[in-house]
Structure formats: C-alpha cells, structure tokens
Amino acid sequence: MTIDLKPFIRSGQPKYLAIGNALSEAINAGALQPGSKLPTHRELAEVLGVSVQTVSNAYAHAEKQGVVYAQVGSGTFVRSRHVSHESDYLSTDEHDDPSRGIDLSTAHPVCTARHVKLYREGLERLSREGRDDFITSFHPTQGLTLHRDVVCTWLAQQRMPANPDHMLFCNGTAHALTIAMTTILKPGDTVLCEHETGMLLLALAQTLHFNLKGLATDDQGILPEALETACRQGSARVLFCTPTMNNPNNNTMSLERRQAIAELARRYDLTVVEDDVYGALQPDRSPPLSALIPERSFYATSLTKVTLPGMRAGYLITPPHLVQQAIGRLRSTTWMATLMPFEIAGWWMQDGTLDRMITFQQQEFAARQQMACGLLTACRYKAHPNGMHIWAELPAHWQPEKFVRRARQEGVMIFPAEPFLATADRNNPFVRISLGAEQSRSRVQAGLATLNGLMEEIPPPMHFVF
C-alpha cells in the first residue's frame, strides 16, 4: 500500500513522533481506512527518506496510541475505532520513549505493570502480617522448613521430586550454581559442558580457576558419544549442563537423551550440575536430568526467568551426601538468603499465581517466536517454540562482532557468539537475540525487522589507516 503522509507531518518533533502522529491524523481524517494494511517499515522509510528504525519507532508509537495494530507474520493494519482496547490479564502495552535503543541482548522474562502490581501486593501483605523477624533476626542458613516444603510441592509439579532436607535457598540461580561448584571443585579441575554455554559458567571458571572442556552437541544437547569419549580420555568428574533451552542455542534434551546422559554419569562416576532456570518455560516438560540421578546431581533453578528479574528466589537441591558441605559454602557466601522473596514465592506457589505467570511467559514467548519466524527471513536460526532466545546464524558476508556493532548503530542491542563459547572460536557465525527484555511486542518486532534488514545488507568496507 502507498500512502502520502507528508501533508500530515508536523515540524518541530522527533522524526519518529512526527510520523507516528501523522499516521494518527491521517486515520482520523479518513485518509486511511480501518482494516487497511500499512506499508512495510522499509517501504515507508524509502518513501519518507528516513531510516527503517525511525519508521519502526513511529509504528510502535501509533500502536500505543491505539490507531494501528501489528499482526504477527502479516503486517501492520489500521485499527477500527470501535475495537475494544481492554488489556489482557498480563498486558504487554508499554509506556516509555521508543527513541531509546531496543534491548534484544538481555536474558529477561517479559515484565508488565501487572507483574509489578503482584509483587507490590506481596510486599504490602508482608507489611500487614508484621513479619519483622525476617529483617530483625538470623534464620537457618538452609532456609525455613515451611518454605522448603512448599517449594518441594511445586517442584514435584515440575517433575523434580525433592527432599526439603536436601534443599538450600539461594539469592538466585547464579548464587546456587556458585555454591554447587565451590562444593565439588578445586582450582585446576576440569568441568565438562556444552560447547556453547552460558556466560555464567565462563565467569565462574575464571573466578574459581577451573578449566572447561566443551563437548559436541546437536539439537538435543550434549552428544552421549562425545561425553563418553571425554570421560575415557580425561580425569574430569563434573558435568555442567542446561538440558532444557540451553542458553544460548536453545538445545533441549529429549527424555531418551537425558536417560543416556544419566547412565553415563553413573558409569563414569560424574557429578552433574544442572541449570534448570528455563525449564518451567517448556509446556509438558520432560523431567530434569537431576530427577534421574538425584544421588549425584546438583539441581539449580529460580523464579528470575519466569516472574521478575529481581525475584531472587533461588533453589539448590544437593546430593544427600553433600548437603552439609553445601550449607557451609552458602553460609560463607551470604550466611542466609533474603527471606522476603521466598515468602512471596510461597504464596504464589500455593494460590496459583506462579502457575499463571509461567503460562503467560510460555504464551508470550510463543507469540514472539512466531513473530520472529515471519521476520527473520535473511538467516537460519535455532529456537525453542517457547524460548527466550534465538541463536541466529549470520550470512557469510557478516562477522558477528561487526554485525553487533552495526546493529547497535541502528539502536538494537544483541550479543555475538564469543561470550558463550567454552572454547574460543573466531569463526563461529552466530549471534544471540533475546526476546524478553522489551515489554512491548511492537519494539521486539521493530528490532527484529531492523536486524533482518541489516543481514540483507553487505557490510561496509573496512577503513585502513596508513
């Protein structure tokens, strides 16, 4: 569709606001009819002589005004004046300045005003019930028994049976994993892991001075034959893995793969450290790897990826024979986890709030993954249908670091492959795109459209200084 917005564009405003407001005026004046499809971001950018990013921000502004709407995979359309704008239980409307950069770099759940309201209500309830002892007294390092009983009931729904006596409360998953690693490792030890793994593990290796050996993977994660070869060739006795939605590549083990890895762990006397922070995002999930080998596995998860990043309620389940050693590490790092988030988490687990929040994240990420499928046509990528991340393979003419810099120039933040590699590989052609940090789907859509457009471009030549 070709539209002429120039008569409606007013001077003295940022370009994206001028174009967004012009859309509203054109629609109110009847120049654009309800239900009509708007030009693509690139088409309108060419007509108006502005960047694709500017048009993307203009469309996002118009959508927030309620005059247009984006339909995943189809485009942007003029909204009927009679359409209800009632928000869902957890709305993804956003009220901020769309001229700021689009964050597709942060591993982050989708957070809305409803999430904040739920947390504030929890704090208000804490205040009404007078739990002053949470801040005026020391409590058991391991966490309160009542809280641990509630968590074990919820974890059973996540197919992870747990004994409350083997559970420790931590300030988030990173803290839980740190405790696990310090319990079983000493400097110079080797840890087996996925070749592409989370930044946290690389940071822990540098901090605790252990070595990493990345293993070959497929779409289901670590290859059993690669793990067995590494066990036969070396002395490593620890395996770190993320069997569900591995960050960054979204590899997810089938039940059969988990059983094969568990059998190898028994055969070669491996201790497994499992990061299951994304596990709850998978509907009809498989049991965690740790559920198959509880006698030799540390299981870590938290609520930070399914509720709010500041909800630092982390849970660590230890092998029975290592509980006391792990409690000692917990005591030496923080003495005890902050109790208030665990009280609120317990309420959410008992009254169904947490399940509703998880369902929202599953559905929201599913919608954003569908959006990405329609927009990222210039590359191949790996993703989970309900996943937080996209692991995109760049066209051959782009280098990841250069592409990331170019994207940042266009106002979109992403990560190159290098920070996720257990073994350095300058030829790895991937970038990680994360879909949760932006509350608004419109901004995610704009960022993905920008990235796809850049992938289709030939990078500018290098400038040499003689």
What are the tokens at 305? 């990826």
> Which CA distances in Å does 16 have to 34, 57, 303, 354?
22, 6, 37, 38
pLDDT at position 98 is 53
Task: Return mean pLDDT, the chain.
Answer: 90
288-310 per-position pLDDT tens digit: 999 999 999 999 999 999 999 99
Average pLDDT over residues 252-273: 98
Q: Is residue 232 over pLDDT 80? A: yes
Q: Is residue 249 over pLDDT 50? A: yes
Cα 458 → chain centroid = 30
Q: Which DSSP string corresponds to 193-256?
A: EESB--HHHHHHHHHHT-EEEEE-EETTEE-HHHHHHHHHHS---EEEE--SS-TTT-----HH
Q: Burial, 89: exposed, middle or buried (Cβ in 10 Å; 0-12, 13-18, 19+)?
A: exposed
Contact 336, 144 (CB under 8 A): no
Start-to-end Cα distance in the chain: 49
Backbone angle region of 415, left / alpha / beta, with phi > 0 → left and psi within -120 to 50 → alpha? beta
Most confident of 47-51, 122-126, 211-215: 211-215
Taking the C-alpha atoms of 282, 286, 292 and 295 in order, what is their torsion angle to the nearest 10 degrees? 20
Buried b (16+ CB within 10 A) or exposed e, 415-429: bbbeebbbeeeeebb
- Listed in sequence order, the DSSP H helices in 90-198 are 113-129, 133-136, 145-157, 173-184
| Cα–Cα distance for residue pair 278/10, rounded to 1 Å | 46
What are the tokens at 20? 């967004």
| Cα–Cα distance for residue pair 252/293, rounded to 1 Å | 18
Q: Whose CA is closest to 147, among 435, 291, 348?
A: 348
Helices and strands counted in the chain (H then E): 16, 17
366-389 per-position pLDDT tens digit: 999 999 999 999 999 999 999 999
Tell me which of 346 and 95 has the higher pLDDT. 346
pLDDT at position 88 is 41
Q: Is residue 84 over pLDDT 50? A: no
Query: Are β-strands 167-170 and 221-222 bridged in parallel, bridged antiparallel, or unpaired?
Result: unpaired
pLDDT at position 9 is 86
pLDDT at position 295 is 97
- φ/ψ of 86, rounded to 5, equals -60, 135
Q: Is residue 83 over pLDDT 70? A: no
The one-letter code for the residue type at 457 is: E
Contact 370, 73 (CB under 8 A): yes
| Cα–Cα distance for residue pair 169/176, rounded to 1 Å | 8
Which pTM value belongs to this model? 0.79
pLDDT at position 401 is 93
Q: Is residue 97 over pLDDT 60? A: no
Query: Are β-strands 68-71 and 75-78 bridged in parallel, bridged antiparallel, or unpaired?
Result: antiparallel
pLDDT at position 4 is 82
Average pLDDT over residues 131-145: 83
pLDDT at position 459 is 83
Strands, sheet with 271-275, edge to edge from the N-terminal-most edge strand: 167-170, 314-317, 297-302, 271-275, 238-241, 190-194, 211-215
Q: Is residue 138 over pLDDT 70? A: yes
Q: Whose CA is closest to 371, among 442, 458, 463?
A: 442
| Cα–Cα distance for residue pair 299/297, rounded to 1 Å | 6
Task: Of 13-22, 145-154, 269-278, 343-352, give the lowest mean pLDDT range.
Answer: 13-22
Confidence of residue 144 (pLDDT cuts 50, 70, 90): confident
Backbone angle region of 221, left / alpha / beta, with phi > 0 → left and psi within -120 to 50 → alpha? left
| Cα–Cα distance for residue pair 344/119, rounded to 1 Å | 8
Domains of the chain in start order, with CATH, are 6-78 (1.10.10.10), 102-112+359-456 (3.90.1150.10), 115-354 (3.40.640.10)
416-450 per-position pLDDT tens digit: 999 999 988 878 999 999 999 999 999 999 999 99
Neighbours of 391 (CB within 10 A): 23
Contact 35, 77 (CB under 8 A): yes
Buried b (16+ CB within 10 A) or exposed e, 269-293: ebbbbbbbbbbbbbeebbbbbbbbb
- φ/ψ of 412, rounded to 5, equals -125, 125
pLDDT at position 140 is 82
| Cα–Cα distance for residue pair 338/325, rounded to 1 Å | 20
Confidence of residue 331 (pLDDT cuts 50, 70, 90): very high
Element (H, E) at 264: helix 255-267
pLDDT at position 82 is 39
Partners of residue 315 on adjacent β-strands = 169, 301
> Which CA distances in Å does 80 have to 30, 75, 77, 147, 215?
12, 16, 9, 49, 54
pLDDT at position 74 is 65
